[in-house]
């Protein structure tokens, strides 16, 4: 799959990319929400993993903008977050995200989510 990952922390970028590359996914990294919008506009992706807390534009704002576009209506968007109390989770769903990944991201968790995306779990 072609996966767009928005994450501002270089170490997390590296870890997520390494996990996804193990299964030969093609990964593009955005360093903040604005970059995410720019990259999303320029190319086609199968899904988006988005960190909630980033400089310039956070994951919530970026998701809202993407969901308002024609090509962004159905793409699976997964929140990646360190603190995810119930309130945050509700906010994610209300903003249009499909699921969450808890930080620190574990290989099994990310693979589980990717498998669900491949099976069309979030798009049917
Ligand atoms: Mg962050």
What tens digit of pLDDT does each residue of 60-107 get? 999 999 999 999 999 999 999 887 677 788 899 999 999 999 999 999
> What DSSP state is assigned to residue 13?
H
Overall average pLDDT of the 38-66 stretch: 97
What's the pLDDT score for residue 87?
78
**Alpha-carbon torsion (95, 99, 46, 124), positive or negative:** negative
Model-level pTM? 0.95
9 C-alpha vs ligand 1 centroid, how far in Å? 6
What's the pLDDT score for residue 52?
93
- Of the candidates 3, 50, 47, the one whose C-alpha atom is nearest the C-alpha of residue 25 is 3
What's the pLDDT score for residue 71?
94
31 C-alpha vs ligand 1 centroid, how far in Å? 9
What tens digit of pLDDT does each residue of 94-124 get? 999 999 999 999 999 999 999 999 999 998 6
Q: Which domains are present in the chain?
A: 2-118 (3.40.50.2300)
117 C-alpha vs ligand 1 centroid, how far in Å? 23
């Amino acid at each position: 799959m072609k996966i767009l990952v928005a994450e501002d922390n270089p170490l997390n970028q590296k870890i997520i990319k390494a996990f996804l590359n193990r299964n030969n996914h093609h990964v593009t990294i955005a360093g903040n929400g604005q970059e995410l919008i720019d990259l999303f506009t320029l190319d086609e992706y199968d899904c988006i993993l988005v960190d909630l807390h980033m400089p310039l534009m956070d994951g919530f704002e970026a998701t809202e903008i993407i969901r308002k576009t024609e090509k962004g209506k159905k793409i699976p968007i997964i929140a990646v977050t360190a603190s995810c109390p119930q309130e945050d989770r509700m906010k994610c769903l209300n903003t249009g995200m499909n699921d969450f990944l808890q930080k620190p991201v574990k290989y099994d968790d990310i693979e589980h989510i990717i498998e669900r995306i491949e099976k069309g779990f979030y798009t049917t």
